[in-house]
């Protein structure tokens, strides 16, 4: 484990044994050339995987000044629960949340850093020409409808809350982790709503993004759950929970 990491990277993982080795190798290559971020700790949070995700993460040997730490939820609880555990366990001055498939390339970290915000949010909604490989039409339409729904509820002013690439100031990340309650894919909405309520400076940053065919998101099932969670969150925010 590295001492006093400059950056913690939180990677929620569910059945990611095939993608994790390449992703972690890519991160190692990147930070060998961007040494201003070192030392770096990478926290892989195993969300109750049924494959060798935990074993793969534990066996990988990172480069110097980079550590890989495995956290396990024991059972599948959802991406929000996995990210929350990672934020709670983080020690870095900054915390990057990213997906195991690196749908947004790690090079986009430079854009989030340049935003100089408490929370820099990678966005597919500001410059859609940066989307190199688009998701299926039905999923894209449902995503835009969900964003409109959030605006109507007054939960967000951003064009995209769901891109899994966000950079947070470290102490704020750990503070928010103590407040977060949603376990599913709507955790991003809660994270940003509570950050805004705390007075944090939030910047939406256009980033490159590639749709990955093996996405874990099931548009209809997860979409309905996200609508439900957004309504629950709206009630919590109104009642001060």
Confidence label for 223 from pLDDT (cuts 50, 70 and 90): confident
Structural domains counted in the chain: 1
| Domain assignment of residue 105, yes or no | yes
Q: Domain residues for 202? A: 7-133+159-214
Give the Cβ contact number of residue 2 at 10 Å. 18
Domain of residue 190, CATH code: 3.90.550.10
| Domain assignment of residue 143, yes or no | no
In this predicted structure, what is the pLDDT of residue 220?
Answer: 66
In this predicted structure, what is the pLDDT of residue 212?
Answer: 81
| Domain assignment of residue 148, yes or no | no
Supply the pTM of this predicted model: 0.93
Query: pLDDT digits over 30-69, tens only?
Result: 998 898 999 999 999 999 999 999 999 988 888 889 999 9
Residue 88 CA to residue 111 CA, distance in Å, equals: 25
Q: Which tokens in the block code for residue 129? A: 């020409």
Q: Say if CB 140 and CB 134 are below 8 A apart.
A: yes
Query: pLDDT digits over 161-192, tens only?
Result: 999 999 999 999 999 999 999 999 999 999 99
Query: pLDDT digits over 85-133, tens only?
Result: 999 999 999 999 999 999 999 999 999 999 999 999 999 988 888 888 8
| Domain assignment of residue 55, yes or no | yes
pLDDT at 135 > cutoff 90 = no
Where is pLDDT greater, at 46 or 138? 46
| Domain assignment of residue 21, yes or no | yes
DSSP lists the bridge partners of residue 70 as 44
DSSP lists the bridge partners of residue 96 as 9, 167
ω before 39 within 30° of 0 (cis)?
yes
- Interval 68-94 mean pLDDT: 96
The dihedral formed by the CA atoms of 29, 31, 32 and 36, expressed in degrees to the nearest 10: 170
Where is pLDDT greater, at 229 or 222? 229
Residue 155 CA to residue 150 CA, distance in Å, equals: 5
Whose CA is closest to 113, among 67, 169, 193, 163?
169
Confidence label for 217 from pLDDT (cuts 50, 70 and 90): low
In this predicted structure, what is the pLDDT of residue 131?
Answer: 85
Residue ranges with strand state E in the chain: 7-13, 40-46, 66-72, 94-97, 119-123, 131-133, 166-169, 202-206, 209-210
- Interval 186-213 mean pLDDT: 94
pLDDT at 229 > cutoff 90 = yes
| Domain assignment of residue 239, yes or no | no
pLDDT at 160 > cutoff 90 = yes
In this predicted structure, what is the pLDDT of residue 219?
Answer: 64
| Domain assignment of residue 165, yes or no | yes
């Amino acid at each position: 484990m590295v001492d006093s990491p400059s950056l913690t990277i939180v990677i929620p993982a569910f059945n990611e044994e095939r993608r994790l080795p390449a992703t972690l190798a890519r991160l190692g290559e990147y930070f060998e050339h961007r040494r201003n971020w070192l030392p770096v700790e990478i926290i892989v949070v195993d969300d109750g995987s049924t494959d060798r995700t935990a074993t793969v993460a534990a066996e990988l040997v990172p480069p110097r000044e980079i550590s890989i730490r495995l956290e396990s939820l024991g059972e599948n609880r959802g991406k929000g629960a996995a990210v929350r555990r990672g934020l709670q366990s983080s020690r870095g001055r900054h915390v990057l949340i990213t997906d195991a498939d690196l749908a947004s390339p790690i090079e986009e970290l430079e854009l989030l850093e340049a935003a100089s915000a408490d929370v820099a949010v990678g966005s597919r909604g500001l410059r859609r020409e940066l989307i190199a490989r688009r998701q299926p039409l039905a999923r894209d339409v449902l995503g835009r409808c969900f964003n409109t729904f959030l605006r109507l509820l007054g939960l967000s002013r951003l064009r995209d809350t769901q891109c899994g690439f966000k950079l947070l100031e470290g102490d704020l990340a750990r503070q928010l982790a103590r407040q977060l309650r949603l376990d599913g894919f709507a955790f991003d909405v809660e994270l940003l709503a509570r950050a805004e309520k705390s007075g944090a400076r939030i910047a939406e940053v256009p980033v490159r993004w590639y749709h990955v065919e093996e996405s874990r998101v099931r548009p209809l099932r997860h979409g309905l759950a996200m609508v439900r969670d957004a309504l629950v969150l709206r009630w919590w925010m109104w009642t001060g929970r």
